[in-house]
Amino acid sequence: MGAQERAGHDYQVMTKKYMRPLVEHACCTPVLVPSCFGSDDIEQYLSMADGIYLTGAGSNIDPALYGQDNLTPEKTQDQDRDRFDLPLIHAALGLGLPLFVICRGMQELNVALGGDLHQKLYAIPDMLEHREDYGASVEQQYADVHKVKIVPGTWFAGLMQATEISVNSLHGQGIKTLGCGLEALAHAEDGLIEALHLPHYKQFSLGVQWHPEWQAAHNPYSIRMFSAFGDACRQRLAGSLQRQNKF
**Which residue from 129, 131, 150, 156 is spatially nearest to 142, judged by alpha carbons?**
131
pLDDT on residue 35: 82
CB 147 within 8 A of CB 182: no
Residues above pLDDT 70, as percent of the chain:
95
**Which residues are catalytic, by number?**
103, 211, 213
pLDDT on residue 137: 97
Mean pLDDT, residues 240-244 taken together: 71
pLDDT, tens digit, 9 for 90 and up, residues 141-197: 999 999 999 999 999 999 999 999 999 999 999 999 999 999 999 999 999 999 999
Mean pLDDT, residues 84-110 taken together: 97
Provide the residue type at 84 as one letter.
Answer: F
pLDDT band (50, 70, 90) for residue 3: low
pTM score > 0.85 for this model?
Answer: yes
pLDDT, tens digit, 9 for 90 and up, residues 40-57: 899 999 999 999 999 999
Report the mean per-residue pLDDT for the chain.
Answer: 94
pLDDT band (50, 70, 90) for residue 2: low
pLDDT on residue 247: 57
Would you tell me how many other CB atoms lie within 10 Å of the CB of residue 144? 13
d(CA 163, CA 181): 23
**Which residue from 104, 126, 108, 109 is spatially nearest to 171, judged by alpha carbons?**
104
pLDDT, tens digit, 9 for 90 and up, residues 101-136: 999 999 999 999 999 999 999 999 999 999 999 999
Decide if pLDDT at 246 tops 80.
no
Mean pLDDT, residues 73-88 taken together: 94
